[in-house]
Amino acid sequence: MLFVDTHTHIYDRDFDADRTEVVQRALDNGVGVMLLPNVDASTMEPMMETHEQFPECTRVMMGLQPEEVKGDYKQVLAVMEKELEKDIFIGVGEVGLDFYWDTTFEKEQIDAFETQLDWAKQLSLPLSIHCRNAFSFMARILEKHQDGGLHGVMHCFTGTEEEARVYLELGFHLGLGGVTTYKNCSVRDYLHNIPLDRIVLETDAPYLSPVPHRGQRNEPAFLVDTAKKIAEIYEMSVEEIAETTTNNAKTLFGI
């Protein structure tokens, strides 16, 4: 049984004390590949160092996370665009829109997102997209830019069934993580209506640990707990969920 964690930040300082053990626990639990999305200028170096330390089981993406879009975002994007010239990145991410806490840089977030959508099309790379409190903006932007060249994952998807349908029709997959195991997660009510071939699994470690680890630091090994809940919803075996979601991730990210 093999899993792909399509979105994990094991390069985060939260793992500095035991990163090797965290990776080993992931491998021991069948999580054979971990995809590392970038966050901002400060995470580029630790992300690459983590990949160099674990080259067999990690892959890297490059992008500017929307909450980190500030006044200097154009300079940051210029550095990242230069990095993308290297033939090592399997995706553009983590990118998107987040108007949950602060809309000070709303226009800048939109500009940064559209710039990175263009990168993905030019390089034929999938996207790892973060969207919080911004569905209407997100849908309009993706509809405007989707010419058949955009594909990727709606990371940590927790929206309504209607929102899910919009993203599926736009050609995107849904990334499901620990939130899916929470009792108040509405996705659980309609997930059986979503084709399993449009689902990938993720942890977003160190955040959003699944039940029964809620409140603890999340890590890739916990992906199995999310898979168990999804298997329950689809009335399938965990092995079937692993096989299908892993194939989805491999096809989508070319790994």
The pLDDT tens digits of the residues spanning 72-104 come to: 999 999 999 999 999 999 999 999 999 998 889
pLDDT given for residue 103 in this prediction: 86
Q: Which residue(s) pair with 66 in the sheet?
A: none
- What is the rounded average pLDDT of the residues 3-30? 98
State the Cα–Cα distance between residues 38 and 59, nearest whole angstrom.
Answer: 11
3-state DSSP of 164-210: HHHHHHCCEEEEECHHHHCCCCCHHHHHHHCCHHHEEECCCCCCCCC
Q: What is the domain range of residue 194?
A: 3-253
Model pTM?
A: 0.97
pLDDT given for residue 237 in this prediction: 98
Angle subtended at Cα 213 by Cα 208 and Cα 216, rounded to the nearest 5 degrees: 65
Query: 10 Å Cβ neighbour count for 147?
Result: 7
The pLDDT tens digits of the residues spanning 111-167 come to: 999 999 999 999 999 999 999 999 999 999 999 999 999 999 999 999 999 999 999
First to last CA, the chain: 17
Residue 25 has pLDDT above 80, yes or no: yes
Does 102 or 250 have the greater pLDDT score? 250
pLDDT given for residue 71 in this prediction: 94
Cβ atoms of 128 and 150 within 8 Å: the answer is no
Angle subtended at Cα 249 by Cα 69 and Cα 217, rounded to the nearest 5 degrees: 60
- Strand pairing class (3-5; 31-36): parallel
DSSP category for residue 134: -
Residue 1 has pLDDT above 90, yes or no: no
pLDDT given for residue 176 in this prediction: 98
pLDDT given for residue 129 in this prediction: 98
The pLDDT tens digits of the residues spanning 183-231 come to: 999 999 999 999 999 999 999 999 999 999 999 999 999 999 999 999 9
Residue 50 has pLDDT above 90, yes or no: yes
The pLDDT tens digits of the residues spanning 163-174 come to: 999 999 999 999
What total of structural domains would you count in the chain?
1
State the Cα–Cα distance between residues 153 and 249, nearest whole angstrom.
Answer: 9
φ and ψ at residue 97, rounded to 5 degrees: -135, 140
Which CATH number goes with the domain that contains 100?
A: 3.20.20.140
